[in-house]
A and B are shown apart, each in its own frame.
Chain A
Amino acid sequence: MELYELDLYDASNGIKEKKFSPAELFESCRKRIDSCEDNIHAFITRTDDKAPVIENPEGILAGVPTVLKDNLCTKGIRTTAASKILGNWKPPYDASAWKYLREAGAVLMGKVNMDEFAMGNTCGNSAFGPTHNPNDISRVPGGSSGGSAAAVSAGYVPFALGSDTGGSIRQPASYCGVYGMKPTYGMVSRYGLISYGSSLDQIGPFARTIRDLQLVMSVIARYDPMDSSCFREKHYDFSHSEDVSIKGKRIALVKEFQNFTLDTPIAEAMKKTKKILEDNGAVITEVSLPIVSKYAVACYYALAMSEAHTNLERYDGVRLGYTVKDAAGIKEMFERVRSYGFGSEVKSRIIAGTCLTEPSRCEEYYVAATKVRTLIAQEFKRAFGECDFILQPVTPSLPHKIGEENEDAMKGYETDLYTLPVNLAGLPGLSFFTGYDDASKLPVGLQLIGPRWSDPDILNTGVILERHLGSPKIANGGVK
């Protein structure tokens, strides 16, 4: 067994017990990257050219390599959000979540690919070209945190950070066959995360075991005064234990979602998972989410695009990133910088956001969406009075082939119905591995959602699911 195959837990213990050195682990991961990266193309910027400097050799993550989605700011290291508009910008500061990892001893292997400004679900909307799914390199890894999911799936690193605005952690985790956690909004500081939809964005981890997610969450779930939406009330215990129980827990399916068709492997996974939960003493129930099922997608896009267009107003070529020197005036400079710098998906969302918040339409769309959002949050709150968790798919189908994107943009949006509402209500959601589809050999993931701040309980349930469903294997990464 190679060192890169170890999960975070074993890698970190191995270093502490001096079974191997951080340099050996680093080298093993680097070789793994070298052998697969031509096939996968997960990186935007590699930082593994020299031996790692471990900031805290006593830290809980001492010497463990990781990668970050390229919308997390890293001091002195190029951060692009997969956009041309940021050019070679090197932030003068670290994102808080990365700072916490660094201070716990983690080592950065590089910055990984994503859909530009986290807008997309294929990791194909990147100025740096698409990332490939390590389980089948002809397929998409999902997005927008596709680089993070692919890096963990291919064994580049035992864990990675991504961000989830409408499913951007959970969907690629599911497509790549790893675990991905979208924490409760406010659980992890967003300071230093390049904003897409500020009220929806949340940073979270990818890993190949639940206990690794727990370990990473124990490091990054911390109050940060730099993020006003970050929690400050209490400490959340993410310690791992095998001695957990779901006896008597009510786990619900959403009534309105039962009419939607699912691809067979996903429907099968739902059946299998339900049975495991029941076998472990949980009660399977049903909750009704009529407003969510009808309005969540429209509400989400109205809010995400409205916030996005204001978040992206700062890219004007004045202070950083791509700029033009020969513009005739300031207006021309803005126009040329933004016309060239942004990709087409980003531009279409900026235009949509601009229209949705235009004074004559603002009440009808943006303001209405904020009201619907309140109703959605209330609906979930009511539902979680009737159940402890909700079990549902992440997506209705398995990853498609690169280049076979759905032409109908609105249809593409509908596939997000399982992930978007979670962000609207600020809930935690775990994307977990259920096994491999016999026919395609692709991994199949499902999702467990809980009330706000139930992140530790969701992960404890994940421990039981992993025990019965098995942990994912490292994907071959296109290497025969």
Chain B
Amino acid sequence: MSELIFTPVIGIEIHIRLKSDSKLFCSCSTNTDAAPNTNICPICMGLPGSLPHMNHRVVEQGMLAGFALNCGIRPKSLFFRKSYFYPDLPKGHQISQCDLPITTAGYIEVHDSEGKLKKIRVNHLHLEEDVGSLHHSASDGRLEGASTSYVDYNRSGTPLAEIVSEPDVASAAEAVEYVTTLRRRVIYSGASEVELEKGMMRFDANVSMKCSDGRWGKKVEVKNMNSFKALERAIEFEIKRQKKIMLQGGEVMQETRHWNDAKGVTSPSRVKESYRKFIVEPDLPPLHISQEWIDRVHSRMPEMPDVRANRYVHDMGLTQEAADILTDDRKVADYFESCVNAGANPVRAANWIRTEVMRVLNETQKKIADFNIKPEVLAEIVKRVDDKKLSTTQAKEVFDYMCANNAGLDDSVKKLGITEGGVAGNALNEIIANVIKANPDVLAEIQSGKDMKGKKFKFLQGLVMKESKGQAKPQEVAEALTAALKN
């Protein structure tokens, strides 16, 4: 009997918080860090009599995110009421989209296990409102078993984009690349900051297994993944679990499972999925988006990271690896381009950013936007090295000093006692005179002709180099020292 081969079939649903100062259906602030229940109004509290109205700027954010996923925009889309009861859901239904969402289909490119590019199809992106947040007094922080629970509606009504993929993902690694690439592109588009640590991106995965003997396992929905790592681990766990069941001849049950990050396992959802129904949201007319509006928003789309990386490789001579690293974060890529625009050699600027800048950012846990050395200044450092005004060692010393002391370039050079262009002429002669003066015994030895192998000469030469802090050229030192000894 030949060995059974199992192929995972994975679809991913992603919720992303869209960048917006105001909520989706009212004008409340989206600042969820404010004191609980301070950014609320009758609309996002779902008070009787209140009605939602569309925040058209959020619609534009949704369009940008759609463009980033290569989706089209639908000229007419509809909103629905998704009903279920939960204390964080003030109206008892969430306003979302199902039929006719704002975008049509799109795709994201990832590398398969053989390193070839493959498309993960995006079924659609739709807009919906977020719910409030619950705080439970129970020891496990969950609603059940809590004696008291508190609801904060600051988050209620903040805008979300839900992105639903087709089941094109074949492994946990592909899943991670899919969400990483997607996140990067969405950030580039300006639709969202997608700060992972702030929970701005949440994942659900639909996992099923296809077996080479023709069996096809049922679909399992895994919920509650809030990081790339959790997504990866949950999918890996689920693949193993389902494979084991199928190998034993069992049948995978269609169910919703909950990812427990601490234990690293999925388990059947404790709360049975509420029964959900959809009716058209009668308080919101269909959302009409004209071609003119689409074009206007599309004109705001920046160059996407892959296109940018290609340009770095083909126009600037960077390696693919360097280009990928620089374009990973749009702000780093922007920094790099500012550097190049200020006159720095692209390859060397790229090296500086990849090594020195990223090292410092990593060490200080800073973002590039808060980095004290502006791109124009880094460009100047790179140029001075190219012009031989600074040696590479000196430049790094200056760079570190600037970072550590939040100092300017010229000040740092001065503070470190570096003479740009090296120590020569009178300055060099002065050092030599001092070195000779301080070592009369060595001088005597050389002058008596005992330094047959030139060891003593080299010793003095070393001292001079040291005194010049390495800024003198060895050849010049040798010549000047020979001349001085002759006198």
Residues of A whose CB lies within 8 Å of any CB of B are 71-73, 79, 81, 86, 89, 91-93, 95, 190-195, 197-199, 225-229, 306-307, 310, 312-316, 318-320, 329-330, 334, 354, 357-359, 362, 366, 370
20 more A-B contacts (CB under 8 A) besides A228-B284, A229-B285, A310-B81?
A71-B49, A72-B49, A73-B47, A73-B48, A79-B48, A93-B42, A192-B49, A195-B283, A198-B283, A199-B282, A228-B283, A228-B285, A312-B92, A313-B83, A313-B91, A314-B90, A314-B91, A316-B87, A319-B46, A362-B279
Task: Determine whether B151 belongs to the interface, using a CB cutoff of 8 Å to chain A.
Answer: yes
Among B27-55, those with CB < 8 Å from A are: 42, 45-54
Q: Are B47 and A190 in contact (CB under 8 A)?
A: no
Q: Are B50 and A319 in contact (CB under 8 A)?
A: no
Find chain A residues with CB under 8 A from B92 CB: 310, 312-316
Q: Are A366 and B51 in contact (CB under 8 A)?
A: no
Interchain Cβ contacts under 8 Å between A and B, 10 examples: A95-B49, A227-B51, A228-B285, A307-B282, A310-B92, A313-B92, A354-B277, A362-B278, A362-B279, A366-B279
Q: Are B48 and A194 in contact (CB under 8 A)?
A: yes
Taking A316-B92, A370-B280 as contacts, is the C-beta distance between A228 and B52 under 8 angstroms?
A: yes
Nearest neighbor of B43 in chain A, beta-carbon distance: A226
Q: Are A319 and B280 in contact (CB under 8 A)?
A: no
- Give CA–CA (A191, B283) in the complex, Å: 10
Find chain A residues with CB under 8 A from B85 CB: 313, 316, 334
Q: Are A191 and B49 in contact (CB under 8 A)?
A: yes
Which one of A226, A227, A320, A334 has the highest number of Cβ atoms from chain B below 10 Å of its Cβ? A226
Find chain A residues with CB under 8 A from B294 CB: none
Partner of B45, one of A81, A194, A319: A319
Nearest neighbor of A317 in chain B, beta-carbon distance: B87
Q: Are B51 and A362 in contact (CB under 8 A)?
A: no
The 7 A-B residue pairs whose C-beta atoms are closest, nearest first, are A313-B92, A198-B282, A199-B282, A192-B49, A73-B49, A194-B48, A314-B91
- Give CA–CA (A437, B330) in the complex, Å: 80
Closest Cβ–Cβ distance, residue A292 to chain B (whole Å): 21
Nearest neighbor of B46 in chain A, beta-carbon distance: A314
Task: Determine whether B93 belongs to the interface, using a CB cutoff of 8 Å to chain A.
Answer: yes
- Give CA–CA (A193, B42) in the complex, Å: 12
Partner of B144, one of A72, A95, A319, A329: A329
Closest Cβ–Cβ distance, residue A46 to chain B (whole Å): 21
Q: Are A362 and B144 in contact (CB under 8 A)?
A: no
Nearest neighbor of A86 in chain B, beta-carbon distance: B48
Partner of B277, one of A95, A318, A357: A357
Closest Cβ–Cβ distance, residue A336 to chain B (whole Å): 13
Nearest neighbor of A193 in chain B, beta-carbon distance: B49
Task: Determine whether B143 belongs to the interface, using a CB cutoff of 8 Å to chain A.
Answer: yes
Between A and B, how many residue pairs show CB distances below 8 Å? Answer: 104
Residues of B whose CB lies within 8 Å of any CB of A are 42, 45-54, 81, 83, 85-87, 90-93, 143-144, 149, 151, 277-280, 282-285
Secondary structure type dominating chain A contacts: loop
- Give CA–CA (A65, B320) in the complex, Å: 78
Q: Are A319 and B277 in contact (CB under 8 A)?
A: no
- Give CA–CA (A312, B50) in the complex, Å: 13
Partner of A91, one of B47, B81, B93, B280: B47
- Give CA–CA (A191, B42) in the complex, Å: 10
Find chain B residues with CB under 8 A from A358 CB: 277
Closest Cβ–Cβ distance, residue A37 to chain B (whole Å): 26
Find chain A residues with CB under 8 A from B277 CB: 354, 357-359, 362
Find chain A residues with CB under 8 A from B50 CB: 93, 191-192
Q: Are B144 and A92 in contact (CB under 8 A)?
A: no
Q: Are A225 and B283 in contact (CB under 8 A)?
A: no
Find chain B residues with CB under 8 A from A359 CB: 277
Nearest neighbor of A83 in chain B, beta-carbon distance: B48
Taking A310-B279, A314-B91, A318-B151 as contacts, is the C-beta distance between A228 and B48 under 8 angstroms?
A: no
- Give CA–CA (A92, B47) in the complex, Å: 9
- Give CA–CA (A226, B25) in the complex, Å: 10
Nearest neighbor of A72 in chain B, beta-carbon distance: B49
Closest Cβ–Cβ distance, residue B377 to chain A (whole Å): 48
Nearest neighbor of B48 in chain A, beta-carbon distance: A194
Closest Cβ–Cβ distance, residue B93 to chain A (whole Å): 5
Find chain B residues with CB under 8 A from A93 CB: 42, 47, 49-50
Find chain A residues with CB under 8 A from B93 CB: 310, 313
Partner of B87, one of A312, A330, A366: A330
Find chain B residues with CB under 8 A from A194 CB: 48-49
Q: Are A319 and B143 in contact (CB under 8 A)?
A: no
Taking A313-B92, A313-B93, A366-B279 as contacts, is the C-beta distance between A190 and B151 under 8 angstroms?
A: no
Closest Cβ–Cβ distance, residue A163 to chain B (whole Å): 11
Closest Cβ–Cβ distance, residue B83 to chain A (whole Å): 6
Find chain B residues with CB under 8 A from A79 CB: 48-49
Closest Cβ–Cβ distance, residue A165 to chain B (whole Å): 12
- Give CA–CA (A449, B54) in the complex, Å: 32
Which one of A89, A197, A198, A359 has the highest number of Cβ atoms from chain B below 10 Å of its Cβ? A198
- Give CA–CA (A21, B476) in the complex, Å: 108
Find chain A residues with CB under 8 A from B285 CB: 228-229
Taking A307-B282, A316-B85 as contacts, is the C-beta distance between A226 and B53 under 8 angstroms?
A: yes
Q: Are B49 and A310 in contact (CB under 8 A)?
A: no
- Give CA–CA (A475, B329) in the complex, Å: 76
Find chain A residues with CB under 8 A from B143 CB: 330
Partner of A228, one of B45, B51, B87: B51
Q: Are B45 and A229 in contact (CB under 8 A)?
A: no
Nearest neighbor of B53 in chain A, beta-carbon distance: A228
Which one of A79, A191, A225, A320 has the highest number of Cβ atoms from chain B below 10 Å of its Cβ? A191
Partner of B49, one of A195, A313, A318, A370: A195
Find chain B residues with CB under 8 A from A195 CB: 48-49, 51, 283
- Give CA–CA (A190, B51) in the complex, Å: 8
Which one of A318, A329, A357 has the highest number of Cβ atoms from chain B below 10 Å of its Cβ? A318
Taking A198-B283, A199-B282, A310-B81 as contacts, is the C-beta distance between A320 and B47 under 8 angstroms?
A: yes
Nearest neighbor of B149 in chain A, beta-carbon distance: A330
Find chain A residues with CB under 8 A from B81 CB: 310
- Give CA–CA (A216, B176) in the complex, Å: 62
Nearest neighbor of A85 in chain B, beta-carbon distance: B48
Find chain A residues with CB under 8 A from B278 CB: 357, 362
Q: Are B90 and A91 in contact (CB under 8 A)?
A: no
Find chain B residues with CB under 8 A from A306 CB: 279
Closest Cβ–Cβ distance, residue A400 to chain B (whole Å): 31
Find chain B residues with CB under 8 A from A228 CB: 51-54, 283-285
- Give CA–CA (A313, B50) in the complex, Å: 14
Find chain A residues with CB under 8 A from B54 CB: 228
Q: Are A81 and B48 in contact (CB under 8 A)?
A: yes
Find chain B residues with CB under 8 A from A71 CB: 49
Nearest neighbor of A313 in chain B, beta-carbon distance: B92
- Give CA–CA (A307, B93) in the complex, Å: 12
